Amino acid sequence: MLKYDPGVYIAIPNYRGTVVQGLAGWLFSVEGLTGEKIMLDMHAQQPVDACRNKLVTRFLKKCNLEWMLFIDDDIVPWPTLMDMRNLGLPIVSALTYTKKGGVPIACAAISRHENMVRFGGIGENQDKPVEVVGVGGGALMIHRSVLEKIKPPWFRFTYKDNGQTAQGEDIYFSQKAIKAGFKLHVDTTCPCGHVHLADIREEAARIAVALTSGNPQEFHEKMGFPVSAKQLKEKAAG
């Protein structure tokens, strides 16, 4: 007899009160494998750590499904996002993006030093999932055994003495998961869009291409930066 029921509990921290069009379309297309059950739950609450904790509590109490999939309400999922549960990994995030200092980067921590984590440095479509020290919660597949082993709260913002945020709720979860003996991975074959007025995944991809430039002018051209009249003349003369 199976310990868990086959299926996925899709949980949306709906703290903005709406979902982007790309996510809505993806939700309508989701289908489980034969014998699987798919459940959808949303919860609107601020702050987002409280929202996530409420969803985990309902997942553990309302069903016995094997997997929980967090999807933020501004994420545009990759079509094969649900396949992450077939990788044999207890915690695996899709490749999502965030902004640090105005620059879009991969939302995953690749290294840690004391209370600081380093984000980014992960490209799309690598041969195998990348092990990381911190995952984002934007599109995150978690095995039920992880949430059963970790004591609540599963997610929590932490703060500095001056009241400023020290780390996000997803990094807090990551640290508790590692301490409990679990490894964290990012599936780079599932690059998801993240809508901040515009989809920053497109911007991140453009920057990655521009960074291969051989000189500043080529970088500016690949980034699509405005070109001055003087630069146009110099280019025409050259």
Identify the pLDDT of residue 210: 65
- What CA–CA distances, in Å, run from 41 to 56, 130, 197? 10, 29, 25
- What CA–CA distances, in Å, run from 160 to 72, 115, 157, 166? 26, 11, 10, 5
Q: Which residue has the tokens 């990012």?
A: 186
Q: The whole model's pTM is what?
A: 0.79
In 140-228, which residue ranges form alpha helices assigned H by DSSP? 144-149, 169-179, 200-210, 216-223
Residues of each domain in the chain carrying CATH 3.90.550.40: 5-196
**In contact, 79 and 23? CB cutoff 8 Å:** no
List, run by run, the mean pLDDT of 10-residue segments along the chain (238 residues): 89 82 87 86 89 97 97 92 95 87 75 59 81 93 98 93 84 95 95 68 63 68 55 54
Identify the pLDDT of residue 233: 53
**In contact, 151 and 93? CB cutoff 8 Å:** no
Q: How far apart are CA 199 and CA 204, in angstroms?
A: 9
Class of domain 5-196: alpha beta
Identify the pLDDT of residue 4: 94
181 CA to centre of own chain: 21
Query: What are the b/e assignments for 179-208, b being 16+ CB within 10 Å?
Result: eeebebbbbbbbbbbbbeeebbbebbbebe
